[in-house]
Amino acid sequence: MADTVQFELVSPERLMVDKAVAMVVIPGMEGDFGVLPGHAPAISTIRPGVIEVYERDGAAPERLFVRGGLADVRAEGLIVLAEDAVDPAQVDMAELDRELLRARDDLANADTDFDRDRAESEIAWREALKAAAAGTA
C-alpha cells in the first residue's frame, strides 16, 4: 500500500492543489472524515468548513476553507470539487464583517422562502469562514 494519497482541490476558477499527501480531513455534511492511503471509495457532499491537508505524518496541516462542494474518494486518490476555496489566513475580516451585515439585512428584508433560504445560506458560510479565519474552526 502506498504511504500517500493523491489530493486535488478544484474550484470553479482553477486547480488549487494537486499533490501527494499523508492525509486529508474533509468537512463532510455528516461530519468530518479523514482520507488516508487505501481509503474505501466514497462520495460525500461538503459543508462550509476547513479542509486540513497533512503533507506528512506529524506535520502541521495546511488549512483551506471551502464554501461547500463534493468529495470523491477513489483508489487513485481524492478529488474535491469546491464551490469556492480560500486560505483563511488571507481573509479580510473587515470586508467579511460588511458582507455578513449585508446578508443579515437581506434576511431581515426577505419576502419569500427562497430569499430567506439564500440569505441564511450566505450567513452560514460567512460565519464559518469568520470562525476559520479567527482560528476557531
**What pTM did the predictor assign?**
0.86
Cα angle for residues 94, 100, 105 (degrees, 5° grid): 130
pLDDT in tens, 33-82: 999 999 999 999 999 999 999 998 778 899 999 999 999 999 889 999 99
**CATH number assigned to the domain covering 5-86:** 2.60.15.10
73-98 as b/e, with b when 16 or more CB fall inside 10 Å? Answer: beeebbbbbbeebbebeebeeeeeee
